[in-house]
Every structure is written in structure tokens, then in C-alpha cells.
Structure 1
Amino acid sequence: MRTPPETYEDLIREIHDRHDRMSSTYQRISVFLTQNPNDVAVLSVTAIAAQCGIHASSFVRFAQSFGYRGFKDLQGLFQKRLATAAPGFEARKAALSADLANREDRSEFGFLRELVVRDMASLQDLLEETPAEDLAAAADLIERAGTVYLIGQLRSAPVVELLRYVLTMLGKRCLLLSQGGGLATHMARTMRPDDVLLAVSFRFYATEVVNIVEEAGAAGVPVIAISDSTLSPLAKTARVLFAVPEHDYTFSRSLAAPMCLAQALTVAVAARVQQDPDNPRIPTVTGT
């Protein structure tokens, strides 16, 4: 038997190292574990497996491949992390799950309430999981950049549109790598090392976005990435990666957390480029 990782950090590091050599099933398990550590800590293996659409026995074998006797031993690392990093979260999570499972309100307002409650959980995760030093590093890169290139497609598009609007209002030169005309890839090749690329992509990652990020990294262009997991294809290239936690929704996934993160980044940049860093203000377009 191999010696299993003794800490959560060691386990995640080993998952990253082995991810490319894993089977497709184990890769799906890895993404869930790294993207939903709080769920892994508080849910049963049966419930986790149901969320992933993978048989529970695969989770047991996954744990054993890392040297654990079973999934419970692996889960213990996630529970220890949760108890240390976010005391009281388990109770909030259990209350949320019970409330949603038992609700009888199937009205339109009931759906609104469910989405709002889940967004609150996502925003709480964002606050607890985002390193302060990463926000500072990203804001510094944006401030120093000659041009800020932005790319996000499909449901990521609203996030980069918000970034383009606010950064432009702050006087930063930015360029949106739009799908229109099929020129995004060619426009991206005009980037220089003193620029920065801010890329946003979530499962199932837009192929053009992934390719542009990889090309930018190879050309020495710093990349700031907003994605959903440390196993995202953007992670290997990103100078700064924000792995924004997501929660499952019946119909779609919310942009509340990534939008909040984008807003926080622009406020941090505003504090650097304005004369009053203690009270930064984001200009807005007025009139009709």
C-alpha cells in the first residue's frame, strides 16, 4: 500500500500532478473534489456520487488509488479543512439543504427564493476561498498593463462585458476579443508581454478561449483567469487564477459570484488609479 497524502493541500497537489494521466471518470471526480470541497466534507459518498452521475464505488476506488482504505479516509481531510477554515459552515449548509429539499412553494417566487439562497452560499464561498494576495496581484497586473485584453464566451460573456465597461470608464485601454468576425484568435496574437489577458471560462470550457490563453502564456503575456476549478484548462497558464465556486442549479448556473469578483477587481484597480484610494469611485455613463 502506498502512503496516502496526510493533508488536504498534499492531496490536492497530488491530484493536480496526476490529473492528466487519470481515466475520464477519475478526472470528473477530481474536478468535483477540487471545485466543491465543502460539499465533499458534509455529504455522504452516495449523495456526492448522485450529483456527479458516477457510481459511489468509483469514489471508493479513487480514494484507494491514493492509498486510502476507503472514501471516508479521504473525506476526513476535507472535513478537517472545513472545520479549520470555515467554522459553522456545516450547519449553514445542512440548514440550506434541508430547507430546499422540504420546500413546498413551487411558484415563480419560490424559484426566485431558491436562486437567491443558493447565490448567498456561492458568495459566502467566494469570500472564504479567495486569497487577498491574488486580488492584489491581479489588480497590479491590470494597473501596469499597456492594454487589457478580455475574453469570455457563452455564459462567461457578461462578465467580460462588465469588466470592459468599468475598466474603460477608469481610463484603462482594453480590447474585447469578440467572437464576431472570427478574428478573436488573430487579434490575440497582437498581445505583447507588457499587456495582460483576462480570461473567463467555465465548464464546458470554450475551446477558443482555452487556445488563446495557452498561446498568450507561451508568448509571455501574463494571464488572469476566472474559472470554476483549479483543474480548469486555464489553470496551467494563469499567472493568477480565481477558482470561483459554483453551486448546482435546476436550470442553469448563476453568475452572481464571478460578477461580484469582477466588480471587486475593478474597485481594486480604481483605488490604484484614482487620487482617493480610500474611497474609489467607478464612473458611470449618464444621460440618454
Structure 2
Amino acid sequence: MKPTAEAPRDYEELIRLIHDRYDEMSKSYQKIALYLTQNPNDVAVRSVNAIGDSSGVHASSFVRFAQALGYEGFKELQSLFQKRLSTAAPGFEARIKALEGELGARTDRSEVGFMRDLVVRDIASLQDMLTQIPPEDLAKAVTLLEKADAIYLIGQLRSTPVVELLRYILTMLGKRCVLLDPGGGLATHMARMIRKTDVLFAVSFRFYANEVVNVVEEAARSEVPIIAISDSTLSPLAKSANVLFAVPEHEYTFSRSLAAPMCLAQALTVALAARLQNNAVSPRIPTVTGQ
């Protein structure tokens, strides 16, 4: 990556520059870029050594990354993240610092201890969505779902439970849904039936399933509206999506938690139900009753 002549002056400008130059970065720098965009709060409050340990990239590489973007060192780049955090919701910075201390101090390795660790992280992820997801994106996505003739869903590996939930709720709301199931290797062929009057809803996290990425890119070339849930604005789904919901992945030692993506999926469908039922007070999701 060629050095930047003038360093970005604010967080938004920095993120735009990272997006513009991501493809030309080395693998190590791309890993740093992903960490910075996915964990802005951690970057604001943690030391470069702690960030290096969390990301699996040596701290010195973060320093060189910052210098390549025109900063004297990592602290100067970090100050942009700190300024961003200081203007977030009241008490947000204190909550993040408390979370960091709570997780770092945990010594209980029992079954309950593991559950507590996951719950604490999930709470942080859920609260992050309140400050990081633009309300206009939620409204735009719900409008696309409302107007779609059919909603095609695709998500594989860890993303499968999210699209299965979406299929269930959207079907119960009376929307025509097609799950692009990987079984039989037909998902790509089924996706070619998507029309411009439909919507493709894709869910994918690192390490992104190739078939999901290919289907999204092909749908974008056919000018099909796309809603995507992923883990970063640097996700391969980002460039094709009309609406991208980036739900950052916190440090999970076992597997990604789906608490935040599931909550987001439910929020979208509840908002859709409110429109379809003309009931913003108490929209309901019909349930399957026994025969």
C-alpha cells in the first residue's frame, strides 16, 4: 500500500480511505482494516498491544499501518476512534470500558462462567446496534421487503439459522419466499430466476461462503435489489448491497454468536408486519397452529 500524502482528519474520512484502498492492501493490512472497521469501540479504549493480541496481528504492524495512512503513529490514528466514541450515546464509553474490565477480569472457567462471558458479549453487540445502524437503512430495507413480489433468501454455514428464521416469519406474514438452499447444488441456478421486482436477502459472515458471494454478485449485475447482513462494511457483500447491515463480530473464542443478527432479522420483520397490518402499536406474527 502506497503511503498517503495527507492523513484523514476524522473517523468518517478514515473509513472511506480504508474502503477505497482495501483491495490494494497486503493480507496483513487487510486484516488490520477489518479489525478497525469491525471493532471501533475496542480500538478507542484499548492499547495497541491489546489490540494486536485480539486481532492476531503484531502491534508494530498497526503502527506501520497508521504511518502508511499519513499518521506519525498509531496513537494519532486512535484519537479519531476516541473522538467518535466520545460523541456516541451518553455513558457509552464508560460502558465499553466496564465491559472490557469485566471480561478481562473473569477467572471463572466453569460452565456458568462460559455462559456469562457469552451473555456479556451479546449484550454489548445488541447495544452496539442501537448506535451503529442508521434508522434510514432500516426503513429502506423494510420498504424493499414490503414492495417485493418475492423474497429470495440465502445464507450458509453459520448464517443458516438467520435465513431460516426469516423464511418462517416472512411466510407467516404472507410474503412469497424462496430459500436458496445449497442442497443439490441448485442455489446458483435457482437464483437466476430472481427478477428486478423481487428482493434478494443475503446473510454471510467471515469466512464468507463462496456460493453466497457469487449469487449476490450475479443478482447485482441483474439489478436485483439486495439486502445484506454481514460483519463488516469491507465484506464482499457490501459493494453489491442496496442496504448493508454491518453487525461487527466481537471476540468469540468458540463461534460467532447470532444474538445480534437474529435480533436485527426480527426487528425488520416486526417493522414489516406493522406496515402490512397497518398496526404500529402491536403488530403480530401469526403462528402455526395444530391440525
Q: TM-score range by the shorter chain?
A: over 0.9
Residues 175 and 117 (structure 1), Cα distance of their counterparts in 2 relative to 1, 3 Å cut = same
- 2:229 match: 226
Secondary structure of 2:87's counterpart equals helix
Query: Can you list the C-alpha shifts for 1:88-145, whole angstroms capped at 9, x where unaligned?
Result: 2232222222222223322211211111111100100111111100000000000100
- 2:211 match: 208
Matched, 1:157 2:179: no
Following superposition, the deviation at residue 245 of structure 1 comes to 2.0
- 2:104 match: 101
Residue 71 of structure 1 aligns to which amino acid in structure 2? F
Aligned residues: 288
Alpha-carbon contact 1:126-1:245 (below 8 Å) kept: no
What TM-score does the superposition give when structure 1 sets the normalisation length?
0.97
- 2:287 match: 284
Query: Can you list the C-alpha shifts for 1:243-278, whole angstroms capped at 9, x where unaligned?
Result: 012211121110000000000000011011113233
Secondary structure of 2:146's counterpart equals helix
1:138 to 114, 117, 141: 141
Following superposition, the deviation at residue 279 of structure 1 comes to 1.9
Measured on the aligned residues, the alpha-carbon RMSD in Å equals 1.1
1:118 to 107, 110, 121: 121
Secondary structure of 2:121's counterpart equals helix
> What CA distance in whole angstroms lies between the structure 1 residues aligned with 2:49 and 2:100?
15
Report the more deviating stretch, 7-16 or 105-114. Answer: 105-114
What TM-score does the superposition give when structure 2 sets the normalisation length?
0.96
Following superposition, the deviation at residue 196 of structure 1 comes to 0.4
Secondary structure of 1:151's counterpart equals strand
Secondary structure of 1:85's counterpart equals coil
> What CA distance in whole angstroms lies between the structure 2 residues aligned with 1:148 and 1:184?
14
- 2:271 match: 268
- 1:255 match: 258
Question: Please, which runs of 5 or more residues in structure 2 have no aligned partner?
Answer: none
Report the more deviating stretch, 141-150 or 274-283. Answer: 274-283
Following superposition, the deviation at residue 61 of structure 1 comes to 0.9
> What CA distance in whole angstroms lies between the structure 1 residues aligned with 2:55 and 2:245?
23
> What CA distance in whole angstroms lies between the structure 1 residues aligned with 2:283 and 2:36?
37
2:94 to 81, 91, 95: 91
| Percent identity of paired positions between Structure 1 and Structure 2 | 72
